[in-house]
Structure 1
Amino acid sequence: MKYPNSQNSQAKIIIPDIAVIGAGISGLVCPQRLRPAGYSVVVVEKSCGVGGRVATRRLQGTCADHGACYVQPKGELFSKFVDLLPSRHILEVWTDAGEEFSVSEGISQSTNHSPRYIAPAEMSAIAKFLTPGLDIILNQRVININLTPENTWLLTLETNAQLTTKGIVVAIPAL
């Protein structure tokens, strides 16, 4: 299926099931869970690449991670996901020790002994691991969401391209 990009601003696409807004970790995990349940899903991302807060930016021959500089899994689901990544050479243990700061005690050794992981190539490798087989529209900000008379959702993108879908998942950071 052809999706709109900045060069094709007048395309109107009908998406039968779900549109996910945001291609961070949550926005990429969502279609991985919905597709096995039989839903067709497209992800719409405002940036030029996936990752959200684990994105990597490239400029003048170098790259820089922004947002998360390491991950420390908390919770069963995220821990299981992170456990997959070292064997695929996406993450490696950075340290299992650390320091914490509190106003009352100052700097002290961390009592949390769960390891912290880094992505040696780039943090966006974590997100890229989730993308195979996904339909992702990059460089498109959703600027308007309207309910249609047919009880579907019409998403207007900043290039005036439109998507019609039965459901929406908003997976953007809460600021």
Structure 2
Amino acid sequence: MSRLLPLLMVATTVIGPSHSVITSRKECGEVTGDLYQFSAKTLNGSQTMDFEQFRGKQEPGVTSDEIYNGLRYVRPGGGFEPFFTLFKKVDVNGDDEDPIFTFLKSGCEYTDTDYSSSLFYSPLRVGDIHWNFEKFLVDRTGKPFTRYHPSVVGVEPLMEDINLLLSAS
């Protein structure tokens, strides 16, 4: 028993409760390529759009029944009308993750020191997108600039970075 006690103490220290450290924002590092090398299917699946056509622009308007009505009547609601292209849902983690998210995650560190998920996909990796409110800000050249933890909500915490990118020449 006296030999077992030190092993249990080490195991408790290594395996025991962990305290994750959340960072609200992480600046991204270098990546190969840019966002404009990718494409995505529109929400209704009728076409594949190359992101190259968005280089240096804001997205043009297009609608889709189910998600459009959700935006208009539920969240944010109040008759909200999106004037941007809506894309089809894709996997952001696991074996079937869309290459766009592999690219974004490759340049941006995870905003937490711990990762757990009640979602069912594999493989689970530290650095996976934690929740659907996690955000990536991409600069004009298509490079990921900043990654934000899901706890960052609203526009205010992003405004400094957005203004910095808008003022960059």
Q: Is the pair's TM-score, using the shorter chain for normalization, greater than 0.5?
A: no
Report the structure, 1 or 2, having the larger strand content: 1
TM-score where L is the length of structure 2: 0.25
TM-score where L is the length of structure 1: 0.25
Report the structure, 1 or 2, having the larger helix content: 2
Higher normalized contact order (CA 8 Å, seq sep 6+, divided by chain length): 1
